[in-house]
Amino acid sequence: MKKITLYLLLLCSVQFISAQEKEDRETPTPNYRLASRFSPQKLGKLVHSTTVRPHWLKRGNRFWYQYKTTEGSNYYLVDADRRTRTRLFDNEKMAKWLTEITKDPYDAKHLPPFRFKFVKGETAIRFRVTSTEEVEVVDEKKDSTSAKKKKKPKMEKKEYHFEYRLGDNKLKVLDNKKEKKEKKWERWANIAPDSSIVVFSKNHNLFWMDKENFLKAVKDEKDSTIVENQWTTDGVEYNSYGGGGRGINNETKEKTKNDRKGVFVIWSRDSKKFVYQKTDSRHIKDLWVINSTSSKRPTLETYKYHMPGEQEFYKRKVLIFDVPSKGITAVKLDTTKQQSISVYRAPIKQSDRDDDFRPSLLLSKKGKLYFNRISRDRKKLDICVADMNTGEVDVLIEERFNTYIESRPLVLFNDEKEMLHWAERDGWAHFYLYDSQGNLKNQVTRGSYHVNNFVNLDEKERVLYFTANGVDKEQDPYYEHLHKVNLNGTGLRTLNSGDYNTNTSMSDSHRFFVNNYSRVNTVPKSELRNQNGTVIMDLEEADLSQLFATGYKFPEPFKMKADDGITDIYGVMYKPFDMDSTKVYPLIEYVYPGPQTEAVNKSFSPSMNRTDRMAQVGFIVITLGNRGGHPARSKWYHNYGYGNLRDYGLADKKYVAEQLADKYSFIDIDKVGIYGHSGGGFMSTAAMLVYPDFFKVAVSSAGNHDNTIYNSWWSETHHGVKEVKDADGKISHEYRIDKNQSLASNLKGKLMLVTGDVDNNVHPGGTIRMANALIKANKRFDFMLMPGKRHGFGDMTEYFFWLKADYFSKHLLGVEASNVDMLEMNRDKPKK
């Protein structure tokens, strides 16, 4: 007993000494010069390609890709069937040809940017290059017999349209016609798959024109001979056929009110019918933002915005348009129910992704309309099929849950006799096999792992290819891998195993896939594998030589326990590259609470603006998950915050920081900062108010501090809205959620609130309400408005980084930037 007591006394003594030593150690001096070395602009010079992005071709299992290193860009053509990879062209020869033809100098490392189009049975490529030579603009509409006074000719840079036959020893000039950079018709024309008609919106109604008249519009939109045909007459503002007005100020809306506008419709394969979802939002209340930095007068932007708990809801109709008869059939829906509708579309083939013309098609090839409907409280989901001629609806599959239901696209196959349905009904996301009548045949995938997405299907062999997380229990569950399984549920196999996060692209034939893989602390690599997971060839390894030459060091992944002492929490630690072991560093958390994602990198990324770069100022920066965060784990983990959308992730953020400080003596747990954007802005402020003695400094940007004025979809889905039925059976909706401003009196530390003044996603009113509550609580805080900026701060992002750096430097390192100039920004700015 005495030995145990003596041991405990010694242990306490060691801990006390350790804490005392930590207190005596110096805090680092802010290193702005090091942080400035990793601006996005400078990173673009250090790190180039990190993944292979294949452009799959239509003939054979072939693809081309571009890969850029510190030696320039190379272009490759891969034939997976033949196991070959060849240069698309010889860079030196291409530079020679371009120099000779355009008279502008090029070399093999410095070719112009290319946008290729494969032609002539994919044996040749076409592309355009703009030279520095100026030529007179050719006005095709100009009347050569006109006797008008001659004016100085308008000049433009000469453009070359080239064709190169693969393997040839020459480059051919097709013409010098200028490609129109702005094709205005692309903004409004929805073209039928067979190009027979084009539909568009005008004055809130649906119009159409035939091919002949559309070609006139392509040449000259204001051609007075264009014949337009009006299809509907009942469209009005906010209950219209296309058009839309989100993101348009009232002056522009008035100026363009008679213009042709786009309408999103989904076509049948034979171009005989199309489907349009008409939404009546006239009864939804308005919201506004004012742009004070517009060119003339400040402009008002008015838009419809549904907030959680409001009794009104969008009224939706699904309409089927018949092209030959010009008839309209409504899908038979109960419009008294508050529900959302989603029409299933045909998946896009990999080999079609580069096509200029890619109409949106209905899922069914047999003239059926598949869709889902989900109740306003997101607890009831029905998968339905409608008759395209009558609008009659059959319910095929029903899903019911006590939290919210999520979904993935429906998969039809076997001549539409079978379908694959994704659901989380057993607590994990899996695929279920149904017949076309909605009868369950079997569960295809099963187990304690999360099926993410459908990738491909071998119908002949009845093999499903899909991505999933957590199949290998020894790995970070956020690492995604490609798998295959037989439709009867047997033969599960991982096709790109390894302790990495992967990103894949599979050929339409499902015989090959490109596998990109890395962790945050490894060099990204790319390879080609076959459908059994066998490596066919290594493709690329990222060139990080210049990045490492700057002194860059990989961050460190970690695993800790959540506040319940059971759940594993995964994160990444970013350290200063000039870290001094004799010093103790403040800890900063970069946060985003989810629930749709977590702000934790799993693959290597050159984008360090939020994490690596902030660490270089003189901090230990961590990102980590929390219960209620990322959906790629169990349904329990993902839905943990349901009903408590303010505080659900904070205990984990605090407890993990304490565990890290216990493990690493260089962390000063008495100086903890936190920052985040959007949901992270909301969470960082909440952390300051819920744990005011732990979190000392926060920079909260674009935060939804008051979720009662954020959009209803996000809040009602992830927090919950309650359906209440009165004695007469009338349904109303109740919504209650905690707000940050209710805890304003708890603030002890230093808080900066930031918002863009034209943010039409998270309205600036949320941040202003938070500021109002702090003022009423007699609290000192800082506030910054980003003029003319929406939810992302755009060209003020770099300014905002240094604003954060200044704030954390002042309040965690004790050094205030006093110069009126942002020196680190001005240093690299060319003087004019």
Tokens of 92: 């030196």
> Which two structure tokens, joined as six digits, stand for 624?
């980590």
Residue 735 has phi, psi (to 5 degrees) of -140, 120
Which helix (H) or strand (E) segment is 395 a member of?
Answer: strand 393-400
Question: Cα separation of 832 and 827, whole Å?
Answer: 13
Residue 770, both tokens:
């938070």
The predicted structure's pLDDT at residue 827: 87
Q: Rounded CA gap, 469 and 738, in Å?
A: 32
Distances (CA, A) of 702 to 299, 684, 765, 792, 823: 21, 11, 10, 8, 26
- Beta-strand runs (E) in 575-694: 585-590, 620-624, 667-677
206-210 — which CB contacts under 8 Å span 24+ positions?
Answer: 206/230, 206/231, 206/232, 206/235, 206/241, 206/242, 206/263, 206/276, 206/321, 207/231, 207/260
Q: Could you give the angle at which helices 650-663 and 679-690 cross, rounded to 10 degrees?
A: 70
Sign of CA pseudo-dihedral 702, 708, 713, 719: positive
What is the CB-side half-sphere exposure of residue 676 using CA atoms within 13 A? 28
Asked if residue 755 lies in contact with residue 746, where contact means CB atoms within 8 angstroms, the answer is no
Residue type, 592: Y
3-class DSSP assignment, residue 800: helix
Q: Is 652 exposed, middle or buried (0-12, 13-18, 19+ CB in 10 A)?
A: buried
Domains of the chain: 18-44+547-709+747-826 (3.40.50.1820), 55-135+155-175 (no CATH)
User: Cα separation of 757 and 288, whole Å?
Assistant: 11
Which single residue is written with the structure tokens 């994160």? Answer: 571
Name the 3-class secondary structure at 342: strand
Question: CA–CA separation, 600 vs 629, rounded Å?
Answer: 11
Say whether 219 sits in a helix, a strand or coil: helix
Q: Is the pTM of this model over 0.75?
A: yes
Q: Are the C-beta atoms of 57 and 125 separated by less than 8 Å?
A: no
Q: Bridge partners of 732?
A: 724
Helix spans in 265-416 (H): none
Q: Decide the pairing of beta strands 155-165 and 124-136.
A: antiparallel
Helices (H), 555-647: 612-618, 635-638
| Sign of the four-CA dihedral 459, 460, 465, 471 | positive
Q: Mean pLDDT, 10 residues at a time, over the chain (832 residues)?
A: 44 45 77 93 93 97 97 97 97 98 97 95 96 86 56 90 97 90 84 97 97 94 95 96 85 90 97 97 95 89 94 96 98 93 97 95 97 97 97 98 97 98 98 98 98 98 98 96 98 98 98 98 98 98 96 96 97 96 96 91 83 96 96 96 93 98 97 97 98 98 96 94 88 93 98 97 97 98 97 95 97 94 87 77
pLDDT at 25: 77
- What number of other Cβ atoms are within 10 A of residue 311's Cβ? 10
User: Integer distance in angstroms from the first to the last C-alpha of the chain?
Assistant: 79
pLDDT of residue 13: 43
Which burial class, exposed, middle or buried, applies to 570 when counting CB atoms under 10 A from its CB (0-12, 13-18, 19+)? Answer: buried
CB proximity list for 732: less than 8 A, separation 6 or greater? 311, 723, 724, 726
Whole-angstrom Cα distance, residue 168 to residue 626?
A: 57
Of 762, 753, 752, which is closest to residue 790 (Cα–Cα)?
762
Predicted pLDDT of residue 456: 98
**In this structure, what token pair is assigned to residue 58?**
């239509």
